[in-house]
Amino acid sequence: MKISVPEKWDMEFDVVVIGWGSAGTAAAVTAHEQGAKVLILEKMPEGGGNSSICGGNIIVPKGKEFVEYLDTLSFKTTEREILEAFVEEALKNGEWIRQMGADVQVFQPLEVAYPTMIAGAGFPHVRGAENVVKYNIKGTPEEGKPSQRLWKFLSGLVAKRGIQVLTATPAQELIPNDRGEIVGVIAQRESKRISIKARRGIILTCGGYENDPWMKWDYLPVKPLYFLGTPGNTGDGIRMAQKIGADLWHMTRLACLIGFKAPEFEAAFWVAFLSEGFLFVDKYGRRFVNEAGIEIHEYYRELSHFDMEKMEYPRVPLWAVFDEQTKKRGPLSRGTAGYNRDLYTWSLDNSAEIAKGWIQQGITVSELASKISMEPKVLGETLDRYNHLCKAGKDEDFGRPREDLRALEAPFYAIQLWPSLINTQGGPRRDKESRVLDPDGKPIPRLYAAGELGSIWGFLYQGACNIGEALVFGRIAGKNAAAEKPWS
């Protein structure tokens, strides 16, 4: 049912931003500085979204040749002119942050871990990769993790400017007029529906669909998946945009790590190993991959193999098998990123998680296999083969580098791991001006979008580009929405 334009509005603003993370902040601040009266709507009790619990890195490329790198990674899923617009503005990310009162520093991993966190390109062999440089908001670990410093900086920009924010106020429907212009939004505030007029434009920055079970099952190439980020991303912006005729793109794209799902917690824990003494096996105990060679955001590609005889994904869940040295090396989940980061502190030697039953242990391979419902013979053969390759110094099966090989010794441990979403990338299609498009490629008047909702990343994803994109197209959307002629 089409919503009519209200005769009387409950609230009126020039620009309404739906969603308060990096993209929403950049959009709101930019529109405010263009002289617009701005309102931010946020469905959760607090702002931040994935921006406040991610890795916190921001892309600031070295030069315009970064376009060549992104053009290859996009694999023709995003128009080159959009990538060019992104790179041109991304070159200014550091300058914009400094103008806003903070500074940036080059990201440097603090320790060796698997999956590998790298300061440079995720795909170093691709032309233009030398232009990849990741930054974060300047500060020390004592001043918070990078994403905490990022959100403190961004939320401070909104507070200093007195931009009005309504938290716990989810947007529900966009309101078009008879000319197809998006002129307002219906939101829910304290159990009441309120109508908010947007005299100039509306900007959707309300995240992806990591927590919409049906969308995940229908669109994503591996099933099931858990989530690492905010539980607030349930595809609201996608449904609102669809109802008023928006086209969608990049709906099958995602940024995906591996995580452990404890029954006591809504989100999964991101897991990484601080020692090379581990291997991955499928649910039947068979090794299937170079464990040290998976690009950190692309884990789902290795897990999405489907067995059409058994009608299942045999690598979902997978099991990581490791030894005492790895157990003592450090916590498997370090609280670097993720929704659970501030809800639970993983023990330094993983002993508390063993006591909880999150990690299984066995004095022998057979004992471990029985605890994780595997055939002892199969798991034993896998481990014997892996140890043989480690001692030979050459992984003839999957090509794991010599420096990343170490034979495992008893006692043994295992943790069940699932594909776990950082975020999805799909949503309403947009152009280089951040305008939302209809299925014919025409802009829907007065409607803009930015951030991971309808992200430009349509094939391979380069780390630090989601926050970089949120700032870039947030600024573009804010500028263009504020420049619209007010309607009456």
My answer on whether 68 and 38 are in the same domain is yes
Contact between residue 97 and residue 90 where contact means Cβ atoms under 8 Å apart: no
Distance CA 164, CA 162 (A): 6
Q: Across residues 86-114, what is the average pLDDT?
A: 93
Which tens digit of pLDDT belongs to each residue from 278-319? 999 999 999 999 999 999 999 999 999 999 999 999 999 999
Q: Which residues contact 433 (CB under 8 A, 6 or more apart)?
A: 85, 443, 448, 476, 480
Among 421, 449, 469, give the residue marking a domain's end: 421
Residue 1 domain-assigned (yes or no): no
Is 164 among the domain residues? yes
For residue 72, CA distances in Å to 185, 307, 433, 487 come to 38, 30, 22, 42
CATH number at residue 445: 3.50.50.60
The per-residue pLDDT for 1 is 61
What's the chain's average pLDDT?
Answer: 96
Confidence of residue 56 (pLDDT cuts 50, 70, 90): very high
For residue 262, is it within any domain?
yes
Containing structural domain, residue 265: 255-421
Number of other residues whose CB lies within 10 A of the CB of residue 114: 20
Nearest CA to 287 among 387, 175, 370, 422? 387
Please count the structural domains in the chain.
Answer: 2
Cα–Cα distance measured from residue 71 to residue 404, given in angstroms and rounded to the nearest whole number: 32
One domain, residues 135 and 242: yes
> So what's the pLDDT on residue 115?
87
SS3 147: helix
Let me know: does 2 contact 172? Beta carbons within 8 Å.
no
Exposed e or buried b per residue across 451-484, where buried means at least 16 C-beta atoms within 10 angstroms of its C-beta:
bbbbbbbbebbbbbbbbbbbbbbbbbbbbbbbeb
Q: Are residues 199 and 277 in the same domain?
A: no
The backbone torsions φ and ψ at residue 352, rounded to the nearest 5 degrees and listed phi first, read -65, -35
Q: Is residue 488 part of a domain?
A: no
315 close to 305: Cβ distance less than 8 angstroms: yes
Q: Which CATH number covers residue 394?
A: 3.90.700.10
Q: How many helices (H) and strands (E) does the chain have?
A: 13, 20
Q: Residue length, the chain? A: 488
What is the percentage of the chain residues whose pLDDT exceeds 90? 95
Contacts of residue 337, Cβ cutoff 8 Å, sequence gap at least 6: 53, 54, 55, 56, 145, 147, 228, 270, 422
Residue at 2 is within a domain: no
Contact of 353 with 261, CB cutoff 8 Å: no
Q: Specify whether the CB–CB gap between 312 and 306 falls below 8 A.
A: yes
- Residue 360 inside a domain? The answer is yes
What does the alpha-carbon distance between residue 183 and residue 198 come to, in Å, rounded to a whole number? Answer: 5
| Listed residues 375, 394, 421: the one ending a domain | 421
Do both 22 and 171 map to the same domain?
yes
Tell me the HSE value of 211 on the side-chain side, using a 13 A CA sphere.
18
Tell me: the pLDDT tens digits for 235-244?
999 999 999 9
- My answer on whether 366 and 295 are in the same domain is yes
> Do 468 and 319 belong together in one domain?
no
CB 137 within 8 A of CB 468: no
Q: How confident is the model at residue 465 (pLDDT cuts 50, 70, 90)?
A: very high
pLDDT digits (tens, 9 = 90+) for 102-139: 999 999 886 778 888 788 899 999 999 999 999 999 99
d(CA 185, CA 200): 12
| 316 and 195 both lie in a single domain | no
Verify that 284 and 356 share a domain, yes or no: yes
- Of 421, 449, 473, the residue at which a domain comes to its end is 421
281 and 229 in a single domain? The answer is no
Whether residue 121 is found in the same domain as residue 234 = yes
Inter-CA distances, 152 with 45, 58, 169, 339, 470, Å: 16, 15, 21, 17, 16
Three-state secondary-structure class, residue 167: coil
CA-based end-to-end distance of the chain = 24
Secondary structure (3-state) at 307:
strand
Q: Give the model confidence (pLDDT) of 185-229 as tens digits.
A: 999 999 999 999 999 999 999 999 999 999 999 999 999 999 999
Structure tokens that stand for 294 in this block: 């998976």
Name the CA radius of gyration of the chain, rounded.
23
Same domain, 291 and 265: yes
Contact 256, 420 (CB under 8 A): yes
**Residue 243 domain-assigned?**
yes
Residue 356 and residue 277 share a domain:
yes
